[in-house]
Amino acid sequence: MAESSTHTVTADNVSAPSSGGVRGLVRRALHDPRSLAYRRTLAVILVAILTSVIALVLETVHPLHEDYLSAFVTIDYALLVLFTVEYASNIWVASNRRAYLFSIWGVIDFLSIAPSFLALLDVSGTGGTLIPGVNIGFLRELRILRVLRMLKLMKLASERAAESSANAKDKNTFWLDIQIYLICLFTVLVISATVVYHIEPYPVDAPSLSEALKLLADDAEPVTEAWASNPMIEFYKARADQGWPLPTYTFDNVPMTIWWAFVTLTTTGYGDMYPVTGFGRFAGALTMFAGLALFSLLTSVVGRTLMRSLFGRQGDGDPQAAERRAKLRALLDSLQLLGPRVMMGGVGADRVLDDDQPTDLTASFSAQSLAGFGEAARVIVRETVEATGGRQIDTAKAVATDSVLTQVLRHAFVDERTQVFAWVRRVLTVLIFTSIGIVILNSVSEIHNTLGPTFEMFEVAMVVLFSFEYLSYLYLATNKRAYVLGFWGLVDLFAILPTYITLVFAISSSFGIEVDLSHGIAFKIIRILRVLRMLRVLKLMKSAVSSAQATMSGKQSTFWMDLQIYFIALLTVLTMSSTLIYTLEVDQAGTQFINIPVAMWWAVVTITTTGYGDMFPVTLAGRVVAMFTMIAGLALFGILTSVVGRALMSSLFGSSGEDTDGDGDLDSDEPIDDAIRTVDYLTAQNSPSVVGGTGGQ
């Protein structure tokens, strides 16, 4: 594999070429891993980062904060000087300073020092006023951003990843991969714990939560201490008054919160600690998904090591090369069964590798040989989409006699090669997300009472656009009945039908037919129709299908395509499950499912298999929805593990579906496996003409 294929693009890439003098020495110290100066600089930076993290964690512990405040301040100033010098040095040696300043690493380096500089404006240390009439006490809250220094460790992780990829075919990379995992784990652990602690800090002077609530419940002796009016205490008391569960322990300090973060990242979910505020739950949800990603990474690292121990390293005579030759023989045998039409320019028995042939498989079977299989795969995917959607729109059938309207609609909704199609896809995506957001926010009573009419206006406008899309597809469909009754046709129909039925109720009132929408059967119908609006999220799956086609075509990296499919599937399960559980549980006495955003917290906890136990359905229908959500969560985890594992394994066995060498050689078993599966499919269907694409029709 070419060296360029393993080089990770980081902020280091914008440094100036090697030169002498002080600037050259600084450049080598910052960006040349082969130099002694770099290793020493890296050691100093790592010690500084760890010292900063330890100080950040310990200063939240009382009474350490009060007893050693001056020491914490001194350490912060010293680290500020060090990180500032590093940031300025990176700017100095960069050949393209603008590129570095706006790169991910440049932004991280800036954020690691900016909060401390802003905090210097608060000279009194108590939130006083430096400029008359301007209160800058809020700047102290920005000190939480110092935890972003942890992200500087990710630069080390990226360098380790590049080294792991470069050495993947030459030596065991297990320890490099474990370093990457541990760096990511430590970074996420500290950042999530620090953020949640600052969102839901428990007052220092307050007794334990159970004791505090007991004192507040005693009306005979009113509590006059300052902690009684703390927002978190009031929030916990409100939950207690509703009869909702309360955590056993609270976020008293960052070390205590690290325990919660670790339990959450490992999806253990003891339920002794969990966030209760909206922002706290949002941070908790991100922590859960980060935990799934980390677990997928660990699984892939272990699997990669196991695969290497089973099959050995790549080489001309190792078991893996022999296995590839066996796969190639099976592939060519299948091709002979299909006939000469699919032999792709003469690939036949003469290309079969002998067992004694010394050359590696990659030297004898080029990526060009699989071009026909890529086309066959695209045909299969396209036919699958048409079968599920019943949409028989073929851009190849466009003729000059088409009307102007047909040509415009075809360019806007069918022909993926046009700029108009790309812009229409973007607009529809924005409309889908906006529509979903409106349904979610409209379930919050306070927001509904204030913005309900505005939301309805937006809903009508979006339905008009979705209706135009539906009618356009119907107009272009050669088999209109198949489209209307097909999967995507039904999705498009249900995306607009609820609003039209709601309008029928409104119009009937104008004719003297009064319909009470506040309760009864009409109220239940309206509620169900609002749930059906969430089916619009399925329209995003059309983008996933396009991503699948691009993935199978082998013309671009599959990682981001796979990740896009995962996020679309995740959003679909998350929105549908939370909306359904809210609809089914909202009428129960003492329910916590008071709106969709709260229900989404339950959905995240369930999908990630964390299971705090703070929220759960009580109705039979709600439990059925919960069971499907659990199964969907396991499926989503399988998808995520596959995505991460596929990306990691590609560094060991070569690029997935790409010629990363630039030499036309095939570096992976995966295209061969895909080709074999494609041939098996065509053989089973007994339709070899499919391989020929449209040309065989």
Give one DSSP letter per residue of 550-562, joined into a string.
HHHHTSS-HHHHH
pTM above 0.75, yes or no: no
Quick one: CA dihedral 453, 454, 458, 459, positive or negative?
Answer: negative
* pLDDT tens digits, 245-263: 899 899 999 999 999 999 9
- Position 341 scores a pLDDT of 45
3-class DSSP state of 53: helix
Whether the ω angle into residue 222 lies within 30 degrees of 0, i.e. cis, is no
Contact predicate 691/372, CB 8 Å: yes
Phi, psi (rounded to 5 degrees) for 136: -115, 25
Question: 655: Cβ–Cβ under 8 A, 6 or more apart, which residues?
Answer: 5, 557, 667, 668
Q: Which residue has the higher pLDDT, 560 or 664?
A: 560
Contact predicate 482/383, CB 8 Å: no
- Position 666 scores a pLDDT of 41
Contact predicate 578/599, CB 8 Å: yes
The CA–CA distances, whole Å, from 215 to 210, 219, 220, 244, 248 equal 9, 8, 10, 18, 17
* pLDDT tens digits, 9-39: 444 454 445 556 888 889 888 888 788 888 8
Cα separation, 525 vs 498, whole angstroms: 9
* pLDDT tens digits, 518-538: 555 656 666 676 677 777 777
What's the length of the chain?
697
Contact predicate 661/1, CB 8 Å: yes
**Which position has the token pair 């979705």?**
466
* pLDDT tens digits, 193-245: 999 999 999 998 899 998 999 888 876 677 778 888 899 999 999 999 888 98
* pLDDT tens digits, 159-195: 666 666 666 555 566 777 787 788 888 889 988 999 9
What domains can you pick out in the chain, each with its CATH number? 3-155 (1.20.120), 366-555 (no CATH)
- Position 607 scores a pLDDT of 92
Cα separation, 296 vs 256, whole angstroms: 26
576: nearest Cα among 680, 677, 436, 438:
436
The CA–CA distances, whole Å, from 372 to 283, 382, 553, 661 equal 47, 15, 10, 21
- The residue type of 177 is D
The structure tokens listed for 458 are 């937006």
Phi, psi (rounded to 5 degrees) for 352: -65, 135
- The residue type of 83 is F
Question: 653: Cβ–Cβ under 8 A, 6 or more apart, which residues?
Answer: 314, 667, 668, 669, 670
297: nearest Cα among 658, 649, 667, 573:
649
Cα separation, 669 vs 76, whole angstroms: 52
Cα separation, 447 vs 444, whole angstroms: 5
From its phi and psi, is residue 32 left (phi > 0), alpha (psi between -120 and 50) or beta?
beta
Contact predicate 174/305, CB 8 Å: yes
Each residue of 447-459: b (16+ CB within 10 Å) or e? beeeeeeebeeeb
- Position 606 scores a pLDDT of 93
How crowded is residue 594: how many other Cβ atoms within 10 Å of its Cβ? 15
The DSSP 8-state label assigned to residue 354 in this structure reads: P
- Position 625 scores a pLDDT of 92
How crowded is residue 42: how many other Cβ atoms within 10 Å of its Cβ? 16
HSE on the CB side for 55, CA within 13 Å? 23
Measure the N-to-C terminal CA separation of the chain; round to a whole number of Å: 40
Phi, psi (rounded to 5 degrees) for 342: -110, 20
Average pLDDT value over all residues in the chain:
74
Contact predicate 205/225, CB 8 Å: yes
- Position 278 scores a pLDDT of 92
The DSSP 8-state label assigned to residue 227 in this structure reads: G
- Position 19 scores a pLDDT of 56
CA 534 to chain centroid? 20
* pLDDT tens digits, 459-517: 889 889 999 999 999 998 888 888 888 888 888 888 888 888 877 777 777 776 666 65
Cα separation, 309 vs 311, whole angstroms: 6
Cα separation, 242 vs 422, whole angstroms: 49
- The residue type of 326 is A
From its phi and psi, is residue 650 left (phi > 0), alpha (psi between -120 and 50) or beta?
alpha
Long-range own/partner contacts, residues 101-110 (CB < 8 A, 24 or more apart): 103/10, 103/11, 103/14, 104/11, 105/10, 105/11, 105/12, 105/155, 106/11, 108/148, 108/151, 108/152, 108/154, 108/155, 109/11, 109/83, 109/152
By CB atoms closer than 10 A (0-12, 13-18, 19+), residue 241 is: exposed
By CB atoms closer than 10 A (0-12, 13-18, 19+), residue 694 is: exposed
Give the pLDDT mean for 308-324. Answer: 54
Q: Which residues pair with residue 665 across a beta bridge?
A: 366
- Position 220 scores a pLDDT of 64
Q: Which residues pair with residue 94 across a beta bridge?
A: 15
The CA dihedral of 461, 466, 468, 469, to the nearest 10 degrees, is: 150
Give the pLDDT mean for 535-546. Answer: 70
Cα separation, 184 vs 322, whole angstroms: 36
The structure tokens listed for 528 are 């169900």
Q: Which residue has the higher pLDDT, 389 or 544?
A: 544
Cα separation, 642 vs 217, whole angstroms: 52
Residues of the chain by 3-state class (helix, strand, coil), percent to 5: 70, 0, 25
The answer, yes or no, to whether residue 264 has pLDDT greater than 90, is yes
* pLDDT tens digits, 610-648: 888 888 899 998 999 999 999 888 888 888 887 776 766
* One-character DSSP codes across 419-483: HHHHHHHHHHHHHHHHHHHHHHHHTSHHHHHHHHHHHHHHHHHHHHHHHHHHHHHHHH-SSHHHH
From its phi and psi, is residue 343 left (phi > 0), alpha (psi between -120 and 50) or beta?
alpha
